[in-house]
Amino acid sequence: MAQDLSNALRSGPDERGRFGIYGGRFVSETLMPLILELEAEYDRARNDPAFAAEMEDLWKHYVGRPSPLYLAERLTAHLGGAKIYMKRDELNHTGAHKINNVLGQILLARRMGKTRIIAETGAGQHGVATATVCARFGLECVVFMGAHDVERQKPNVFRMKLLGATVVPVTSGRGTLKDAMNEALRDWVTNVRNTFYCIGTVAGPHPYPAMVRDFQSIIGRETRAQMLEREGRLPDTLVACIGGGSNAMGLFHPFLDEPSVRIIGVEAGGKGVDARMQHCASLTGGRPGVLHGNRTYLLQDADGQILEGHSISAGLDYPGIGPEHAWLHDIGRAEYVAVTDEEALEAFGLCCRTEGIIPALEPSHALAHVMKIAPELPADHIIVMNMCGRGDKDIFTVAAALGQEM
Amino acid sequence: MTRIARRIDALRASGRKAFVAYVMAGDPDYDRSLAILRGLPAAGADIVELGFPFTDPMADGPTIQEAGQRALQAGMTLHRTLEMAAEFRRGDAQTPLVLMGYYNPIHAMGVPRFLSAARAAGIDGLIVVDLPPEEDDELCLPARAAGLDFIRLATPTTDDRRLPQVLRNSSGFVYYVSITGITGAAAASAAEVAPEVARIKAATDLPVLVGFGIRTPEAARAIASVADGVVVGSAIVAEIAAGRTPEEVLDFVRALAAGARGG
């Protein structure tokens, strides 16, 4: 398959915001004019050298980019196969990749004259990043968070409050990321004239999936340059976890037209991908539908009702996935696999002990898949996994899952 | 001529304002919902909007959200909603029936299968909140080709530049959303709504009906006086949520309808 690829996999979406049949603009009329305005402003911004220069400056001096590309020697030795590198995006300011995108969107919001920023958050990392950048620029910030997630991510809730944001617990549905996104959309419809919706992942109506991907692609561009400098060649395999899929798309996108690079996305398999739907693996266990402004793979029943998934990781607890991933899945350019809660917890522990890095539960899923494939691969095979977040926020969840006292 | 167009013509001929009542199919359960639905025309509804439930109703406030949850818990689906519509139609050949909801349940059924089932059930028009003109080839154009009206929402953010696009494939009537907001939110005043309705009417021959935030007979009267009619949803659904009997709900609808007609 790899030889047949054209040179155009990075060129999407089309003018309707579609990647193949996925994506689009499935929103109410109230939001449509604003979405078109956002698209036009984003087109102007990305061709404006001043916008790029401001991003570069903030990435370097405020976020701490570039993040290191780190050779995990002890993990490589432990697994006894492929050479494992970690892209250390957990070292960014606020502790995850989310701030890459938030900076871009907040700079856009300022260009558009919006004074109030809203965001949805699952694990709280996107909420913290949004609250942080809003504080940095003196903007009002309201973060919608499922009530269940408020409970399991208390440290991040407090961080957002310290940063001056208002955190709104959402009790509709099961109180997770999907419900937070519904409530953010309702707020946006109501306050559309002064409010900018800062979406945290590569989903939502066009232009969000493309725009968030572009802001996150700094991860892949850095990885590419760092790998060429370090090893003199491209990596063989990329592995990243996927909820909505922003860290994965950021790592993958600059490599899509490199047929030698194998690309693997890791979904949250929860308690196992089977008929009981105790998972959040949209590609592995869902089918195409329309939610939150785009067509993509969704966990849904025969009537098109959206199902509540399950994952130990609040950041992956979402019944959909970014539309570009859905397309890459269908055309076979990327592979998508699922990892269970238990496997992720095992990877979490191993990473703490062998590398002295406490990973977030989200990238622990990616690491769990690396643990499966690395031992079978030769020593000259290079894997890059995206360490997209640090695990300080997860220690309570992990302690509870392991039945340990803090 | 569609059933909606015939009803609109009849209203215009008699110089009356249209009163549209919305209920959620299956709320609080199939039987009571059908009883209310069947009583709506006699209670004064010129057109009936029948909602079908969706787990993630992004444009709805708590009242309609909870109605959808009650309906889903009682086993309502899009398929059962169409069965309910067919039962209604067997007893009423005249009152236009508009199906209202979100795209995904239709997408899951498949558009061709949905359209033939909707036609067979006696549905006259569709309002699908998350299908703007940019996505017309998904459902709007196939629905029009199948003889169903596709009723579009126009909103305070639909500016003059965009209005022709919103109106282009619209039919039946134009549903003007009186506020930027979700269903059941605070109402706009007649003074705010009047120039907006005039702006839309200058661009189309379709009647312009106003909805969102109309909760009382007085508000229905005020808004109807500056438009071709009004739509009331959340206020009726709130009566159902409060545990009123179908007869009590229909009494409230009668009062709203009288208000809309200036009574």
Q: Establish if A292 touches chain B: CB-CB under 8 angstroms.
A: yes
Other beta carbons within 10 Å of A47: 9
Q: How far is CA A376 from CA A77, A246, A264, A373, in A?
A: 13, 28, 16, 6
Q: A-B interface: how many C-beta pairs under 8 angstroms?
A: 119
Closest residue in A to B103 (Cα–Cα): A290
Contact A290 B157 (CB under 8 A): no
Q: Is B35 helix (H, G, I), strand (E, B) or coil?
A: helix
CB-nearest to A27 from B65, B130, B182 is B130
Look-up of token digits 């049949």: A21
Q: Residue A67 has what DSSP assignment?
A: P
**Overall average pLDDT of the B229-240 stretch:** 97
Given a contact cutoff of 8 angstroms between Cβ atoms, the answer to whether B19 and B256 are in contact is: yes
- At B246, the pLDDT band (50, 70, 90 cuts) reads very high
H helix count then E strand count, chain B? 12, 9
ipTM of the complex: 0.96
Q: Write the CB contacts of A369 (distance below 8 Å, at least 6 apart in sequence).
A: A239, A264, A266, A337, A339
Q: Which chain A residues contact residue B108 at CB under 8 A?
A: 289, 300, 302-304
- By a Cβ cutoff of 8 Å, what residues of chain B touch chain A? 53-62, 65, 72, 77-79, 102-109, 129-135, 152-159, 162, 166, 177, 180-182, 185
Contact A185 B58 (CB under 8 A): yes
Q: Is B172 helix (H, G, I), strand (E, B) or coil?
A: coil
Contact B158 A33 (CB under 8 A): yes
**Overall average pLDDT of the A201-228 stretch:** 98
pLDDT per position as a tens digit, A42-93:
999 999 999 999 999 999 999 999 999 999 999 999 999 999 999 999 999 9
Strands A237-242 and A382-386: parallel
Q: What does the pLDDT read at residue A7?
A: 56
Indicate whether A273 pLDDT > 80. no
- For residue A234 the two structure tokens come to 């491209």
CA atoms within a 13 Å half-sphere pointing along the CA-CB vector of A45: 22
Reported pTM = 0.96
d(CA A108, CA B168): 32
Contact A193 B166 (CB under 8 A): no
For the four alpha carbons of A243, A245, A250 and A254, in that order, the dihedral sign comes to: positive
Look-up of token digits 């169409």: B82
Look-up of token digits 């109506």: A205
**Overall average pLDDT of the A177-189 stretch:** 94
Closest residue in B to A188 (Cα–Cα): B181
Q: Longest C-alpha distance within chain A, in Å?
A: 57
Q: What does the pLDDT read at residue B262?
A: 85
Q: What does the pLDDT read at residue B186?
A: 81
Domains in chain B, ordered, with CATH? 3-260 (3.20.20.70)
CA angle A210, A216, A220 (to 5 degrees): 110
pLDDT per position as a tens digit, B73-93:
999 999 999 999 999 999 999
Q: Which of A116-125, A172-181, A370-379, B29-38 has the lowest mean pLDDT?
A: A172-181
Q: What does the pLDDT read at residue B259?
A: 96
Contact B56 A292 (CB under 8 A): yes
B60 strand-pairing partners? B183
**Overall average pLDDT of the A223-231 stretch:** 98
Indicate whether A384 pLDDT > 90. yes
Indicate whether B150 pLDDT > 80. yes
Strands A237-242 and A262-270: parallel
**Overall average pLDDT of the B203-229 stretch:** 96
Contact B65 A172 (CB under 8 A): yes
- At A154, the pLDDT band (50, 70, 90 cuts) reads confident
Q: What is the mean pLDDT of chain A?
A: 94
Mind telling me the catalytic residues of B?
A: 49, 60
d(CA A241, CA A54): 29
Amino acid at A79: L
Q: What does the pLDDT read at residue A276?
A: 67
Q: What does the pLDDT read at residue A278?
A: 80
Contact A29 B155 (CB under 8 A): yes
Q: What does the pLDDT read at residue A6?
A: 54
Percent with pLDDT over 90 in chain B: 95
Look-up of token digits 């709104």: A168
| 3-state secondary structure string across B230-252 | EEECHHHHHHHHCCCCHHHHHHH
- For residue A401 the two structure tokens come to 């899952």
Look-up of token digits 């015939």: B6
Nearest CA distance, A79 vs chain B (angstrom): 43
- At A4, the pLDDT band (50, 70, 90 cuts) reads very low
Q: Which chain B residues contact residue A26 at CB under 8 A?
A: 103, 130-132, 135
Percent with pLDDT over 90 in chain A: 86
